[in-house]
Structure 1
């Protein structure tokens, strides 16, 4: 049986779907008003009324100052005169302070009242103007179907956390499926964690910058003392809260003179290669990790530490992108202390170090590197290419102001530089623009120019992986994020297109119309496409053309020329992406896990509507992975273990890829989820495995139609039943929370078993104006009538399927007193047309602020309990006992007299003060079984 207490005024505000600012004004305004009244009563008892209501008190007549004699005065006389002189000044200062405090409180209260009234008037346009109940929110894919909080994930869904004292910024992660380890680079630490449970079997290496490097960094203008003290004095993990850890990590982020690990790669089967900033002294080291999973080895050899210039950035705020192929490291990084010389650099290995042209904006112009990948071009390894993804200041938009473009750059792995020109410089470097835009209704496109992350999804053809990218807008007017998908065929086609050319400073960028030398710039020297064995054998005209034309004219457009997932007008931005290809019953689906800057992970898929050319995006889940809402800065996915590893500035999280049990215990609920990981096995919603028997697995990701798959399972779904009591004349709330946030909720009402059902919400037939309101959490009846009693059923409609979620039996209890908990509503029985909504907003606001008898929840609950146990008013008065003692008064419950003794004493004291009889008790807004 459902028990409900009386709704307080703030609860009424929320239940009635008031705007958030108005609700804040209501609550704070009432609190300030009560504080003002309490202060006034206290001042009256203390004798300060004359200060506030009679103006500034008259200044006391000061005693004439005694004349100082030439011989001086006694010390005791001087002290007494000083105290007498300062006494009226102290009283006057106290009076002025009290006056200023009261003026400030009054001004605050008035401001909140005015703000609330303005908000109510502005929000009146959002209230329906018709006499029927508001239409419930419709199903929309813009909101996630499931939204799980940090608390729920940690308690019920297998999410694990890892945090490290005196460290932060877990920006570098390396997944090792063979060893079952997750290698992480953070501030001053290198970590080795178990892929099965990151909270256990931890190994760590403390790798700080040397003391002399930190001191030199401090001399260069970087502050280390404040943050170093905050780092050393940080409390233990068991003693500090998540918020405090976030603050400490925020402070430590400003500490530049430490070692931030920026590079972490597999070097061979037994060693890793790691690089860090080293307090503005980039340094690299080899880590021994063993050859087998049983080899629990994780150590650093100090003799194998080497210089990291050209491999790791100096400044920890600068991003770096690198890839290690064989024994060669390809890095996009800033190579100077000031962060002005950005380059793509090849180091390690036996071949000569190569870099991009220095101080040439046509090659790189203030780039911010995002990712680097190796993609084979053919079966011949000489054709292999390295692709760099970055964003930079566009040289082709200099006449239109400073604009940021996203780029993809390519270079050949076997590039050795030129012979006479571009010596030790890349001769095969080319770049072009990455376009991710949304076409507008007026023909103009909205561009997402800020590239944030790149993920290469490997396919059966390793030469043609899919490129998933995350973009955000650079405009301060339009805010949004998008995910765009590119194919390697489109990327290669752009690099085989025309070169961008500009004749002079006053000319436009146009396609190059002249003769392109042979071999074409950008082609790798190999026997596949030519007879050149090395770039040093390229003709001089090829080298000169490559120096002056690194930019391609044609950009790379995404698949189908539009994003696969888009979000605008939201309070977050995309930062990271990881993709898993899942085999379902009706095909393969790419499940996207998108990290945001508020610590959430979005689970998204794209399904075809009529055909594969018309795709529909589905936001399945929104997971609050980090409690402190810290930005997600790295993500790694393990398809083998079905786990997602998420890194932020404050910690790490391990999240399972699927949670099939949360969708429900019915076939229809599992089918409506449209999760490629999950299917109905006949008894529950579990993980879908393609090799299981088809007759026992029911899944429909493309259509999500339970009417077809679950036609014989309707009888197994049992509807939950509750009983609710509502007091006549008060308000009551019927709560119904669907699991799916995309479902459309409707309510049906049946007074008796003989009368037909009629819908209460939406196109309601209950002609009660705004008396019955539907909110996101249920149905609110603001003024309960006797005819409201009956059976209410909550129905969820999603994707053409309707199911009953809850049945509530409402029993109306007659009110035992003529008054209610709040002043009577003169407008409740009137129909004022289009102005009734605005009056109701104003009425509720003023009732909350001006009501003098606004009790606390505990007092209201005591009144409800006492009224329930009171004898009925129509019952005969019991006869006096034989002893002659008067009978107990009505309304006082029988039982131990000590339980209600304090209430009786309070009533007696109130009667003595007011000389009035005991007032009748006010009826609560809602009462239930207690």
Structure 2
């Protein structure tokens, strides 16, 4: 009876460990690229960033614009590696209306590249207000106002904007508008509209922190909407309530405020709804919105990829469709309302028109009931949940495939300064690889994806790094290695893994069954003999090339054992070398039915005329990718020991 119980507990323990290993694999990057495996270019900033806010803006091939504190950098990565580009300082040196002997502290708060020009829209904020102008990207250029910006400049000048706030800039037939959020300011907190018509927010009830702003373009101007994503501090709940509540707000971009006696110069179409990222069945959810990335189809905003945390530091990525968001605003009941809802529906863009009496009723209603009862639920639950990695930023690239649709790649930064490349597929998120652009643990301030170049630009407080995202040659020398990578950038072209002339590719499943028979050279050193002193301890080492693979050591006499893993290799300890341990040792890796030999060799006891190898030497070196990470198979090794001890 006791033996049966011990066996049952042992089996349960082994199954638990196996499940733990599978979960760990799913949440881990398949490969890890160090700075030696990835093509990197670095440009140091001449000034250390003080306020931890950097804004990166794409500026054509190999170029990026950087707004940092009081400086505007134009960085050209096509120049010699490591070139430092001088910052473009502000055109003004003293504050207007301030002391004549005091330098002006102008922080760049807004930066947008202007369409079809070598100019940027730049806004600088000082203690007295904000100035916006067009700026050429050359050190000697002047920052001067223009006719197209005069309305923005005149309506924004009295406001003190905050750094790090999201903004949207629209250009249309001389009617330029700038939309900016304010999360913490002496002015009203919320969304602002600057231009020919100024609109400001009403005072919010809680403390919102805005994380993203995006415009949706309809078939006519009355359908154009602006969506703001933010989190509010939860002040109404108890001790077990979430600290934050995630929201999306909607305003009509044609909204010009109400009449003199109701919401004049304030939003009349503002509505908000709670976001839900999680699993309704298990009641697991993520309440702290961290960052958002926007996906456009045919030039129109279609989906929002949102990064969340929960109170235990677990990260999750959820996808929200604009159709689902719009439907909640069109059909949900209004929170706290017990009266008949006016028609046209308050908050809808159609309500901006109509008789004065009806307009006042709708404005009073939307002012008193801006929140929806219904929540906006994510599509199919979380795309990715990670218990082991705390993500801080999210960016995306929609990669055209061989069909008519696209593959979505997400780039998630970690607190440690690393970046994960994640593929969206039907079963969830697949972590393709990890990039390490910084040598030491570094806090990433911002990053952008240059879609055409397939390069990632990442900033810390002291430098900007260009990361080449096409590392097809690092995945391995065989067709199977290339297809198992599941990288939309890469495919097999009959001779090697490449980013052009793709013939074989299976991004969705990594199916390698159509790969041709391997006829190339061996990718390991075979039958290498190592002499080991009698009774000495010796480690056999096998390089890790995929964290999603299972590594096994094959010993003399057809015995096998799982690897004891380290950072880039799995070790096999030979404890007390003797004649009975002589023979061929082989390390294999199995992944989705594909088994390959990584190293193989022979161990002999050191005798006269032979030379012992150092205890740190391995059997051979894999000739493919040197990238890799540890695999948690050691848990299964420990489980096997536990089984033997429990059943003895």
Match of 1:194 in 2: 76
Which of residues 331, 348, 354 is equivalent to 2:180?
Answer: 331
Judged with a 3 Å threshold, the aligned counterparts in structure 2 of structure 1 residues 534 and 345 are, in CA distance, closer, same or farther, namely farther
- For residues 328-477 of structure 1, the aligned pairs below 5 Å read 328-334=177-183, 336-337=185-186, 341-347=188-194, 349-351=195-197, 353-358=198-203, 360-361=204-205, 365-377=206-218, 379-394=219-234, 397=237, 403-419=243-259, 420-439=261-280, 443-460=281-298, 462-473=299-310, 475=311
Match of 1:597 in 2: 415
Match of 2:42 in 1: 161
Q: Partners of 2:463 and 2:356 in 1: how far apart?
A: 48
Match of 2:6 in 1: none
Match of 1:700 in 2: 506
Structure 2-normalised TM-score? 0.80
Q: Is the 8 A contact 1:470 1:577 kept in 2?
A: no
| SS of match in other structure, 2:367 | helix
Q: Partners of 1:451 and 1:535 in 2: how far apart?
A: 40
Q: Is the 8 A contact 1:272 1:288 kept in 2?
A: yes
Judged with a 3 Å threshold, the aligned counterparts in structure 2 of structure 1 residues 406 and 730 are, in CA distance, closer, same or farther, namely same
| SS of match in other structure, 1:787 | helix
Q: Is the 8 A contact 2:183 2:209 kept in 1?
A: no
Match of 1:183 in 2: 65
Match of 1:204 in 2: 87
The CA deviation string for residues 704-723 of structure 1, in whole angstroms up to 9 with x for no partner, is 233x2224225654432343
Q: Is the 8 A contact 1:427 1:535 kept in 2?
A: no
The CA deviation string for residues 540-562 of structure 1, in whole angstroms up to 9 with x for no partner, is 111100110111111111111x1
The CA deviation string for residues 363-413 of structure 1, in whole angstroms up to 9 with x for no partner, is xx2111111111113x11232111111111247748976731111111111
- For residues 602-641 of structure 1, the aligned pairs below 5 Å read 602-608=420-426, 615-641=427-453
Match of 1:786 in 2: 579
**Which has more helix, going by share of residues?**
1
Judged with a 3 Å threshold, the aligned counterparts in structure 2 of structure 1 residues 545 and 211 are, in CA distance, closer, same or farther, namely same
Match of 1:581 in 2: 399
| SS of match in other structure, 1:551 | coil
Match of 1:545 in 2: 365
Match of 2:480 in 1: 668
| SS of match in other structure, 1:435 | strand
Judged with a 3 Å threshold, the aligned counterparts in structure 2 of structure 1 residues 498 and 183 are, in CA distance, closer, same or farther, namely same
Judged with a 3 Å threshold, the aligned counterparts in structure 2 of structure 1 residues 714 and 171 are, in CA distance, closer, same or farther, namely same
Q: Partners of 1:399 and 1:143 in 2: how far apart?
A: 33
| SS of match in other structure, 1:496 | helix
Which of residues 739, 743, 749 is equivalent to 2:545?
Answer: 739
> Does 2:318 correspond to 1:484?
yes
The CA deviation string for residues 421-449 of structure 1, in whole angstroms up to 9 with x for no partner, is 1111110000111111235xxx5522222
Q: Which runs of 5+ in 1 are unaligned?
A: 1-124, 225-256, 291-295, 503-511, 609-614, 751-756, 763-771, 822-832, 838-930
Match of 1:320 in 2: 165
> Does 2:544 correspond to 1:726?
no
Q: Is the 8 A contact 1:582 1:677 kept in 2?
A: no
Match of 2:136 in 1: 289
Q: Is the 8 A contact 2:91 2:142 kept in 1?
A: no
Q: Is the 8 A contact 1:497 1:553 kept in 2?
A: no
| SS of match in other structure, 2:543 | coil
The CA deviation string for residues 799-834 of structure 1, in whole angstroms up to 9 with x for no partner, is 111111111221211599xxxx9xxxxxxxxxxx98
The CA deviation string for residues 286-345 of structure 1, in whole angstroms up to 9 with x for no partner, is 24337xxxxx6872336789685676535x5xx4121111211111115744xx731311
Aligned-pair distance for 1:488? 1.0
Q: When the two structures are aligned, how many residues end up with a matched partner?
A: 583
Please give the root-mean-square deviation of Cα atoms over the aligned residues, in Å: 3.8
Aligned-pair distance for 1:137? 6.6
Q: Partners of 1:456 and 1:518 in 2: how far apart?
A: 32
- For residues 262-273 of structure 1, the aligned pairs below 5 Å read 262-267=109-114, 269-270=116-117, 271-273=119-121
> Does 2:338 correspond to 1:501?
no
Q: Partners of 1:389 and 1:773 in 2: how far apart?
A: 45
**Which has more strand, going by share of residues?**
2
Q: Which one has the largest radius of gyration?
A: 1
Q: Is the 8 A contact 2:90 2:143 kept in 1?
A: no
Aligned-pair distance for 1:702? 2.5
Aligned-pair distance for 1:835? 13
Judged with a 3 Å threshold, the aligned counterparts in structure 2 of structure 1 residues 401 and 733 are, in CA distance, closer, same or farther, namely closer
Q: Is the 8 A contact 1:417 1:536 kept in 2?
A: no
Match of 1:554 in 2: 374
Q: Partners of 1:582 and 1:742 in 2: how far apart?
A: 26
Match of 2:492 in 1: 680
Judged with a 3 Å threshold, the aligned counterparts in structure 2 of structure 1 residues 458 and 302 are, in CA distance, closer, same or farther, namely closer
The CA deviation string for residues 645-676 of structure 1, in whole angstroms up to 9 with x for no partner, is 12233321111222001111112211221212
Match of 2:108 in 1: 261
Judged with a 3 Å threshold, the aligned counterparts in structure 2 of structure 1 residues 417 and 380 are, in CA distance, closer, same or farther, namely same
Match of 2:514 in 1: 709
Judged with a 3 Å threshold, the aligned counterparts in structure 2 of structure 1 residues 336 and 299 are, in CA distance, closer, same or farther, namely same
Aligned-pair distance for 1:285? 3.6
Q: Is the 8 A contact 1:676 1:688 kept in 2?
A: no
Q: Which runs of 5+ in 2 are unaligned?
A: 1-8, 615-640
- For residues 84-233 of structure 1, the aligned pairs below 5 Å read 140-149=25-34, 151-152=35-36, 156-168=37-49, 169=52, 171-177=54-60, 181-194=63-76, 196=78, 199-200=82-83, 202=85, 204-207=87-90
Aligned-pair distance for 1:164? 1.1
Match of 2:346 in 1: 521
Q: Is the 8 A contact 1:586 1:701 kept in 2?
A: no
Match of 2:603 in 1: 810
| SS of match in other structure, 1:777 | strand
Match of 2:383 in 1: 564
Q: Partners of 1:310 and 1:717 in 2: how far apart?
A: 71
Q: Partners of 2:20 and 2:334 in 1: how far apart?
A: 54
Judged with a 3 Å threshold, the aligned counterparts in structure 2 of structure 1 residues 392 and 657 are, in CA distance, closer, same or farther, namely same
> Does 2:142 correspond to 1:300?
yes
Q: Partners of 2:20 and 2:536 in 1: how far apart?
A: 23
Q: Partners of 2:338 and 2:78 in 1: how far apart?
A: 58
Judged with a 3 Å threshold, the aligned counterparts in structure 2 of structure 1 residues 815 and 712 are, in CA distance, closer, same or farther, namely closer
Structure 1-normalised TM-score? 0.57
Judged with a 3 Å threshold, the aligned counterparts in structure 2 of structure 1 residues 202 and 465 are, in CA distance, closer, same or farther, namely farther
| SS of match in other structure, 2:276 | coil
